[in-house]
Structure 1
């Protein structure tokens, strides 16, 4: 019998299967949830209330710990500050009065300013440095409190037991500062010792805050809870009701050491939720007390409303589910019919399914895929036609440059036969430059080829001008094979000829050396007129902040001159990245030197190793 029902279910349509599966997946979990809900609600309410109390107390604990840590940080700063300790030792030894009085006054004033700056930001703290000879340094007026009275406190005798960076936490005691007594009746302090190299105590550091700073944290972060700070003996150190300070906590403490705990305690007037959090540094603990009913009233109300809402929404959602499943499965049927038509070879059919859900996106993407297939087929046909035309134009374009070079070579040979070697040389150099300009099959060439182009260019320029410029090359052999952009060096040499030598005689030196890290340092130096400081700064600035639009305008001119140093720097940075560096140095009457640092590329390493 079960096998028969299974067979009938498997033969049903996808719509029927979805109906049965959806109803089963909704009905069974909902029934189990409603049955187990009441059994789990009370325990969940208890755990949530305990978690809320612990979270709230943990937040307050972090703030209180931060306050105490700031007190320790002040004491740490004074204890490890070598300058302050050196001065304290001098004062305690009684040798400070023997030095210059003005200098002693300035040193003491500097110490007081440092103590004052320690409490400028953050919670207000009273800092006292008490030396064993009775000398004191404070960040408050002695009219508020005479720090010599610290030696009369009961806890003062315990300080001799401290070692190194150990601290003594003074429990809540009446405020001694006259300006604070009215608004802040209690204070909390931490004490550190200052010791000589032989471990003898020569002073004490006392950092004090008002107890109201602690219970103020309770009011801000633990609304609805009675929070207090207690010591290791269970006595209250801080409470919003100052009359309870010093009294014993009436609830038992279960947490020990660094552990936190939350418990429900029974009392005469009902049950209370008690949470505890340890405070680092001093072994004290934060305790929050709240009536259990008050802690759980909101959570219990939420659980009750959720139960009623679940029961009502189940029936509503069941009806909606049936209607939605019918609407959801209708586009699937349509999409299946369109897929069958595409399988038969009809690429013009479209599903027309649209929507923001997965089925709507699937229908839209399916139709878009068919559109792209049709477009790609048309694009392939058009690309093939354009490819045939481009191949024809490329063959035609190759004829013109070769024809031009052949004509120039013919003219050069005719000039040589006619006894005019100077014209023949000029035509030969021009032919080489034009060939390198027109034939653009290589974006990068070796430095050796680039140097040859520069030599041809200088030779051609010497034929144009009255006085010849001398080109001196000092290129390291290992630098010849590095790959560089075409015509990157020609604009630099052109600037040296036109602006440096002013198209008159002189020397242009091109040097290249390989640095220890593999980079190549290339310099172009002339002995021409040079530049003044203002113009030099303008040139270096244009190299660093060259605009891409200006580069485009210069390239549109399509000529050798006018490209300039900024465009050379821009081209080199596009090839080598930000590691490329260019710098111009010049002095009036002493010439100009352009230095370029060309980073090493992996292709250069391969060629260098192969060489």
Structure 2
């Protein structure tokens, strides 16, 4: 019951006319791309909004980074000045060595006063820094009052011991710590310090440089240069070094490290909200600046523009869709009328006409449809007359046929009568001819087994030996598993005929046919020990064989067909003409090893022996019109058996097996020729 209701609903919803289907297709073709476009637009818009928000956050953070870098760089400049000042360092070394004990007290006072003045001058301009120089002998120099903070107390700080590992201009930046200077504690709760070592030429430490600034000098920058963002300075361990909220200093970074994007920014979720985080490292230590802002606040101004564009696009899609439906209804009115006319014709009303005319495709369709109805009666009469003529033609064809068995029986009777008269050679010639005709006439299928093709080849060799004066020896070297491979009929006979006529020139010699089977191909060779051919003719022949393709629809072959038509192919093909390319050593004397059956001077059927070295002429006149210059296109003009040339063999095989079939010729002058065939074991794709 439920299935019937469902099918009924589908039937009601399915469009019943071309007009409705066209409208439905148009709606789908409009709505689906529109929907996809809106989705892509929304995705791209969201990405663009995100990039703009990130760019704004990074620009603000870049301003903060520049100001913070200037403050910290100022601290490094103070340390650098003290470290590279030769007069100050010479005085510090003199003090730590103890060689100034005999100096004049006034000179001592003046020298010490000069150092203090230089330290004070470093902090007069720009940011306020607290400079401390501690010597290894316990003496110290400061830019602040020792009553405000005892300089030797720096050695009690936890991080002071890490200065021992510093070399050269290496610096150690201390984490934020409570302010140690008495006058600064109330207004500046935290301080930041950078430390360096003073070393002699032998790397012995003779003093320390400590430059300190108040943390709020950095956090005040955050408030001046950013709006709506929370900015903090983190050390290498992820702890807050500076923040506008002093209570957060020293705490761990509160936001997770997981992010949607890789790089200098990330979007993280915390407490059910999304936050935009931007990070920029400082250039001279492992500290970094981080800005935090709610993602909604970062994109609110940008996304409103895209939302208005989005609504305008939706309204445009709806308006144009309604307009399209109206136009489609008007355009398809002639089609609906033509549909009603065809329904009337289907019911048998051949007198009705659509009356649709116009210059467009529908107008021409209506006119042609009316013309078609006008000719229906004429076509019915023509079809009836054609069928009558066809039946008469078939009858004449049946009357003209000769039953093949009658022909074979007559030939067999002639052979028996010739044998009774004592002429066995003529009888064998008639028997071989009968077998060839039987294979040619009685087989309807195009493909036969390889052993049947070899039987045909042996019979052909016997006939040729009876025709010519000198014997030709046919050797078959075929693997037993190859006998039952299906091959096209008469594909070997043209190759052997070329070897006989053009390679051996109808003189004595040996033609060897071998076959072996592997996983992909049936590999066959046809070789002779005849005249061979010159290298230039061999190259031209192989080029034409490679270019040959399946026959064209007009019955002519592929490449080289025009040459065959003009009869100019006798030289180029007369060299297959002369057989096939040079045989590799050892190919002709393969034995019966590995399950392979060596067949020499034998046919393929049963145990019946066929001698391919029979005497010549057996009462038959040798055909003198087959010279060494015969055409390779089959010799139909020269009295050959099949009229099939090498190019036609290649075309037939490629038509059956596709481009997987290959044939090549190897030859050397006066050493014979070899034709190699690679026949795919599976039939190749063919064009119909």
When you count helix as a share of all residues, which structure comes out higher?
1
TM-score where L is the length of structure 1: 0.43
TM-score by length of 2: 0.39
- The higher radius of gyration belongs to 2
